[in-house]
């Protein structure tokens, strides 16, 4: 980026440099602070912001190495000197500063898909962003265009001022950084600075992430179908919204009766369908239902919500054979939560770490998903019902591995593999919801098994043919 001028974002502001000290390595960033938007606009409207890297002091003291963190020497930063615009006395050869790379295992288990971070807002202008930042420590991550490139920005409210820090990327190892610590992903950068309350720039720390609005949907939730037309600003499509989760509208708590208001499903629960004696669930529908359940779980986990009670009784079907998960549990900021005391616990569906220590996580939901797979392929049987153990005895047996759930009926091999990987004792080794979805797509072509896809259309066709035969038995059907 040497000698490259980057145009400021839509609302220009003064660039603030990090204070120089002899005890630390000086870093540069494209951070801009909004002190007085009108004054800043007048001062910078006619000239672009020139990125200049401050020279490192000639005899700096060594920066103490953070424990358990690997130091990277002589790693180039993405910004460098522009000697043409430096004063005569500061024209020195290009110098290299030091970054400290933090290995992934030092950060911990982190969701590395930035789209799943609740405080990532995608493309967002500075004006809209600053309208959300109200309290000291509020922050969000957004995407913007700087010059001709797309960049990630950490926007934060700090001491009654709004600051916007561009996340930079090294050219060699493709590491993300803002001050002196470099990471393999932006998610790791955010998680490390937030967990350890280390300033990510200047003296600013990440305190309160501002979640997306309910109307800010993920692209994966929308399927585009027929194109209806186009205008000056884009195309218009007919599409489908598919989170596979029962929509929660709100609660009535002003007076008795206390009510929870949710979306209505015009079908039965999956448990009732599996136990029905009138008709048996087909193998295609079993795969379809488990795929929909995995999509619903993945959506919840992407919203940092742990369901805590995945079971056939909590899966509802509509008239189009679309399965949606209901009765979901608790929104969390961390990886796991402590179980509240009281209430009847579904021991037969719970993970061993939950039964042992009372902790729930996304991994414990996956363990329960394995119990759901068991229910589907045994036509509604309850897990562990044949072992003869109940309550605390069953709890101890599951923790001690003296009883293990197995599927002894005919089942596709890839479904058995999903079941076995979801029931692993070690939480770190269990399969993820995203991987389950990928396997269903790879092995069963789930784009064809959707209710509105190939099988659904074929089924609808034969249903119409059957109804026509019953209504007009004397009229031949042409094929």
- Using the predicted structure, report yes or no on whether residue 470 has a pLDDT greater than 70: no
Could you give the 3-state DSSP secondary structure of residue 293?
helix
Query: Is 214 part of any domain?
Result: no
Q: What is the pLDDT of residue 303?
A: 81
Q: What average pLDDT does range 120-127 have in this prediction?
A: 88
C-alpha to C-alpha distances, 437 to 115, 207, 276, 296, 433, nearest whole angstrom: 17, 34, 27, 10, 6
The residue with greater pLDDT, 55 or 278, is 278
Q: What is the pLDDT of residue 451?
A: 41
Whether residue 257 has a cis bond before it, omega within 30° of 0 = yes
Q: What band does 461 get if pLDDT is binned at 50, 70 and 90?
A: very low
Domain co-membership, 204 together with 258: no
User: Do 247 and 262 touch, CB atoms closer than 8 A?
Assistant: yes
Could you tell me if residue 449 is inside a domain? no
The answer to whether residues 331 and 194 belong to one domain is no
Between residues 76 and 272, the one the model is more confident about: 272
> pTM for this structure?
0.52
pLDDT digits (tens, 9 = 90+) for 199-220: 999 899 999 999 887 667 777 6
**Own/partner pairs, 204-208, CB within 8 angstroms, 24+ separation:** 204/156, 204/158, 204/163, 204/165, 205/137, 206/137, 206/139, 206/154, 206/156, 207/136, 207/137, 207/138, 207/139, 208/135, 208/137, 208/138, 208/139
- The CATH number given to whatever domain includes residue 433 is 1.10.510.10
- pLDDT confidence of residue 342: 47
pLDDT at 66: 36
Task: For residue 361, report the phi and psi dihedrals to the nearest 5 degrees.
Answer: -160, 180
Would 148 be classed as within a structural domain? yes
- Per mean pLDDT, which range of 40-49, 243-252, 368-377 is the poorest? 40-49
Identify the three-state secondary structure at position 210: coil
Torsion of CA 424, 430, 433, 435, to 10 degrees: -110
Report whether pLDDT(241) > 80.
no
Phi-psi region of 388 (alpha: psi -120 to 50; beta: other; left: phi over 0): left
pLDDT score recorded for residue 383: 96
Cα 437 to the chain's mean position, in Å?
Answer: 15
- The verdict on 296 and 152 lying in the same domain is no
Q: Measure the CA–CA gap between 241 and 167, rounded to whole angstroms.
A: 32
Query: Residues 138, 202, 285, 309: which is the catalytic one?
Result: 309
- Percentage of the chain beyond pLDDT 90 is 39
Q: Are residues 278 and 174 in the same domain?
A: no
For the stretch 157-182, pLDDT in tens is: 999 899 999 999 888 888 999 988 99
Share of the chain above pLDDT 70, in %: 67
Is residue 128 within 8 A of residue 106, CB to CB? The reply is: no
Give the Cα separation of 473 and 450 in Å (integer): 32
My answer on whether 179 and 263 are in the same domain is no
Q: Are 302 and 198 in the same domain?
A: no
pLDDT at residue 272 is higher than 90: yes
Domain boundary pick from 166, 186, 209: 209
C-beta contacts of 234-237 below 8 A and 24+ residues apart: none
What is residue 409's DSSP assignment?
S
Whether 456 is covered by a domain: the verdict is no
232 pLDDT band (50/70/90 cuts)? low
| 242: pLDDT strictly greater than 80 | no
pLDDT at position 355 = 95
- 343 and 275, same structural domain? yes
pLDDT higher at 421 or 80: 421
Task: Return mean pLDDT, the chain.
Answer: 74
**Which tokens hold the place of 239?**
């599409």
pLDDT at 328: 55
How sure is the predictor about 424, in pLDDT bands with cuts at 50, 70 and 90? Answer: very high
Label residue 10 by pLDDT band (50, 70, 90). Answer: very low
Is residue 309 part of the annotated active site? The answer reads yes
Domain that holds residue 372: 241-444
What does the pLDDT read at residue 199?
A: 93
Q: For residue 463, is pLDDT > 80?
A: no
Q: What is the pLDDT of residues 296-338, one digit of tens each?
A: 999 899 888 899 999 999 999 988 889 999 865 554 444 444 4
Q: Judge whether residue 467 has pLDDT over 50.
A: no
The answer as to whether 165 is a domain residue is: yes
Q: Are residues 177 and 260 in the same domain?
A: no
**What tens digit of pLDDT does each residue of 61-102 get?**
443 443 333 443 333 333 332 333 333 333 333 434 688 899
Q: Are residues 245 and 201 in the same domain?
A: no
Distance, first Cα to last Cα, the chain: 67
- Nearest by Cα to 299 from 323, 271, 268: 323
pLDDT of residue 353: 95
Residue finishing a domain among 159, 187, 209: 209
pLDDT score at 445: 87
Answer whether residue 191 shows pLDDT above 60.
yes
> Residue 165 belongs to what H/E stretch?
strand 161-166
User: Which run of H or E residues covers position 248?
Assistant: strand 248-252
Residue 223 lies in a domain: no
- Is 199 in the same domain as 275? no
- What are the pLDDT digits (tens) for 332-380? 444 444 444 446 789 999 999 999 999 899 999 999 999 999 999 999 9
On whether both 205 and 274 belong to a single domain, the answer is: no
| pLDDT band, residue 404 (cuts 50/70/90) | very high
As a whole number, mean pLDDT of residues 382-388 equals 92
Is the predicted pLDDT of residue 189 greater than 50, yes or no?
Answer: yes
């Amino acid at each position: 980026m040497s000698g490259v001028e980057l145009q400021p974002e839509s609302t220009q502001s003064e660039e603030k440099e990090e204070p120089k000290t002899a005890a630390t390595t000086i870093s540069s960033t494209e951070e801009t602070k909004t002190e007085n938007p009108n004054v800043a606009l007048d001062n910078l409207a006619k000239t672009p912001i020139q990125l200049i890297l401050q020279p490192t002091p000639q005899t700096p003291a060594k920066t103490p190495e953070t424990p358990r963190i690997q130091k990277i020497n002589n790693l180039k930063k993405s910004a460098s000197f522009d000697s043409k615009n430096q004063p005569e006395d500061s024209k020195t050869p290009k110098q290299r500063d030091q970054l400290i790379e933090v290995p992934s295992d030092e950060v911990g288990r982190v969701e590395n898909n930035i789209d799943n971070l609740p405080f990532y807002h995608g493309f967002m202008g500075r004006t809209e962003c600053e309208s959300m930042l109200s309290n000291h420590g509020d922050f969000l991550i957004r995407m913007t265009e700087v010059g001709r490139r797309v960049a990630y920005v950490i926007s934060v409210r700090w001491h009654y001022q709004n600051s916007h820090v561009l996340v930079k990327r090294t050219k060699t190892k493709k590491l993300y950084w803002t001050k002196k610590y470099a990471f393999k992903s932006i998610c790791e950068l955010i998680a490390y600075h937030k967990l350890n309350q280390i300033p990510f720039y200047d003296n600013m720390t990440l305190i309160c992430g501002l979640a997306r609005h309910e109307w800010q949907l993920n692209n994966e939730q929308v399927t585009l179908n027929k194109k209806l037309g186009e205008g000056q600003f884009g195309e218009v499509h007919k599409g489908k919204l598919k989170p596979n989760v029962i929509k929660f509208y709100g609660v009535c708590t002003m007076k008795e009766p206390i009510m929870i208001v949710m979306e209505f499903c015009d079908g039965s629960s999956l448990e009732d369908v599996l136990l029905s004696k009138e008709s048996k669930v087909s193998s295609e529908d079993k795969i379809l239902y488990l795929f929909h359940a995995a999509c619903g779980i993945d959506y919840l986990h992407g919203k940092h919500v742990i369901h805590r009670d995945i079971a056939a009784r909590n899966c509802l079907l509509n008239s189009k054979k679309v399965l949606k998960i209901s009765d979901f549990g608790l929104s969390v900021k961390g990886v796991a939560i402590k179980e509240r005391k009281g209430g009847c616990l579904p021991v037969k569906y719970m993970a061993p770490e939950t039964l042992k220590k009372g902790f729930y996580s996304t991994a414990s939901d996956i363990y329960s998903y394995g119990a759901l797979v068991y229910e589907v392929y045994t036509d509604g049987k309850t897990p562990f019902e044949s072992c003869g153990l109940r309550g605390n005895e069953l709890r101890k047996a599951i923790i001690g591995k003296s009883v293990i759930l197995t599927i002894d009926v005919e089942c596709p091999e890839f479904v058995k593999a999903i079941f076995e990987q979801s029931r692993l004792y070690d939480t770190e080794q269990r399969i993820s919801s995203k991987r389950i979805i990928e396997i269903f797509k790879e092995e069963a072509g789930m784009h064809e098994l959707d209710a509105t896809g190939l099988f659904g259309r074929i089924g609808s066709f034969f249903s119409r043919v059957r109804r026509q035969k019953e209504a007009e038995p004397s009229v031949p059907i042409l094929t």
